[in-house]
């Protein structure tokens, strides 16, 4: 006698959801309960919650701030900006005309492959149109627009028309399928610094340096950088990837979460020399 085929996790979830939730909050509670009953893993739970949350998140919540934008000035020569393009390693760059509020287009890094030293090379003719969006735009709406227009990047403007930052389709998708740590709940907590049983500290990159100093007893200056993330990126000299480590001032900083644009979470412990 043949055994009945095992039901998929989607079918089991459907059976679990036989009681129709009456609100989004109740739906999330049911999903967490299903996760606790091993109907799916933490990655699946995170992605489902991400899908639910994109309709509530605004562009201003995830955009790359103006101060952290990597831009190309149309007045620079290829010899001046190509090394910068290679170093930052983005696929698209906003192009400005001297003023950061004057974005005249988007340069695709792959278009620079046609550049040959000594030959005439008109960057202005290569620019793609820049898309401008308000800070208040919802991510679900933006994602739909990205898909319809096939754009991958948008310039975010504030209420006065000035450039406030930029956002890419990758930034939006990472809200749904971003890196997931085993310590799944940490990014959802209100605490920016949490000490684990081993005496190490899980630290959000947005933690202000003054708060970090208070918890760890350090004396880092906040004159140049406001956050721990800014401090660590400056010590690396570039945006680190997940798994990268660096030691300074008696501490070891291990990157737990980072995407193509930002540092998110760090694991901090005393280094062997600073113990």
pLDDT greater than 50 at residue 185: no
The predicted structure's pLDDT at residue 5: 47
Give percent of the chain above pLDDT 90.
39
Domain-located, residue 166: yes
Give domain status of residue 176, yes or no: no
Predicted pLDDT at 182: 40
pLDDT digits (tens, 9 = 90+) for 128-150: 999 999 999 999 999 999 999 98
Same domain, 163 and 120: yes
- Asked if residue 167 and residue 64 are part of one domain, the reply reads yes
What is the DSSP annotation of 126-185? GPBPPPEEETT-BHHHHHHHHHHHT--EEEEE-TTS-EEEEEEHHHHHHHHH----SSTT
- Residues paired with 96 in a beta bridge: 73, 103
Residue 211 belongs to a domain? yes
Residue 43 is assigned to a structural domain of this protein: no
Query: How much is the mean pLDDT over the chain?
Result: 82
Does 164 lie in the same domain as 64?
yes
3-state secondary structure 89-139: CCCEEEEEECEEEEEEEEEEHHHHHHCCCCCCCCCHHHCECCCEEECCCEH
Whether residue 256 has pLDDT greater than 90: no
Q: pLDDT at position 119, please?
A: 74
Tell me the residue range of the domain where 120 lies: 60-135+155-171
Kindly state the average pLDDT of the residues 176-203: 67
CATH code for the domain of 159: 3.10.580.10
> Do 93 and 126 fall into the same domain?
yes
Cα end-to-end span (Å), the chain: 65
Same domain, yes or no, for 230 and 164? no
Task: Tell me the C-alpha distance between 210 and 83, whole Å.
Answer: 35
Per the CB < 8 A criterion, the answer to whether 258 and 171 are in contact is no
Same domain, 160 and 84: yes
Whether residue 125 is found in the same domain as residue 223: no
- Answer yes or no: are the C-beta atoms of 273 and 250 closer than 8 Å: yes
So what's the pLDDT on residue 12?
60
Rounded (10°) angle between helices 24-36 and 9-16: 130
Q: What's the half-sphere exposure (Cβ side, CA atoms, 13 Å) at 205?
A: 21
54 part of a folded domain: no
Tens-place pLDDT, residues 42-101 = 667 777 777 787 888 899 988 888 888 889 999 998 889 998 888 777 889 999 998 989
Does residue 229 lie in a domain region?
Answer: yes
CATH code for the domain of 200: 3.30.465.10
Count of Cβ atoms closer than 10 Å to residue 8 Cβ: 9
Q: Into how many domains does the chain fold?
A: 2
Check whether residue 81 and residue 161 sit in a common domain: yes
pLDDT category at 38 given cuts 50, 70, 90 is: confident
Statement to judge: residues 75 and 167 lie in one domain: yes
166 and 199 within one domain? no
- Give the model's confidence band at 30: pLDDT under 50 very low, under 70 low, under 90 confident, else very high: confident
Domain co-membership, 166 together with 199: no
Q: What confidence tier does 1 reach under pLDDT thresholds 50, 70, 90?
A: very low
- Measured CA to CA in angstroms, residue 115 lies from 69, 107, 119, 189 at distances of 24, 13, 8, 48
Taking phi first (over 0 means left), then psi (-120 to 50 degrees means alpha), and beta for anything else, what does residue 179 get? Answer: beta
CA 122 – CA 258 distance, rounded (Å)? 35
Mean pLDDT to the nearest integer, 245-273: 85
């Amino acid at each position: 006698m043949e055994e009945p085929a095992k039901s998929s996790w989607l079918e089991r979830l459907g059976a679990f959801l036989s009681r129709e939730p009456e609100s989004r909050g109740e739906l999330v509670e049911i999903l967490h309960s299903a996760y606790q009953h091993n109907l799916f893993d933490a990655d699946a739970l995170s992605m489902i919650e991400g899908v639910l949350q994109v309709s509530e998140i605004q562009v201003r919540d995830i955009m790359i701030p103006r101060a952290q934008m990597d831009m190309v000035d149309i007045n620079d020569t290829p010899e001046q900006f190509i090394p910068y393009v290679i170093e930052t390693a983005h696929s698209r760059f906003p192009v400005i005309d001297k003023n950061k509020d004057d974005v005249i287009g988007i340069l695709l890094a792959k278009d620079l492959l046609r550049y040959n030293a000594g030959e005439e090379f008109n960057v202005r003719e290569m620019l793609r149109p820049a898309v401008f969006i308000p800070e208040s735009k919802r991510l679900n709406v933006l994602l739909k627009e990205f898909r319809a227009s096939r754009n991958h990047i948008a310039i975010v403007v504030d209420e006065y028309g000035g450039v406030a930052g930029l956002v890419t389709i990758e930034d939006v998708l990472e809200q749904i399928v971003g890196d997931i740590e085993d310590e799944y709940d940490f990014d959802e907590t209100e605490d920016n610094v949490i000490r684990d049983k081993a005496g190490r500290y899980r630290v959000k990159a947005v933690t202000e340096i003054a708060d970090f100093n208070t918890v760890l007893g350090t004396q880092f200056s906040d004159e140049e950088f406001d956050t721990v993330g800014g401090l660590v990126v400056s010590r690396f000299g570039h945006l680190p990837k997940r798994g990268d480590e660096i030691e300074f001032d008696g501490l070891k900083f291990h990157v737990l979460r980072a995407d193509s644009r930002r540092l998110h979470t760090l694991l901090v412990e005393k280094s062997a020399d600073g113990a």
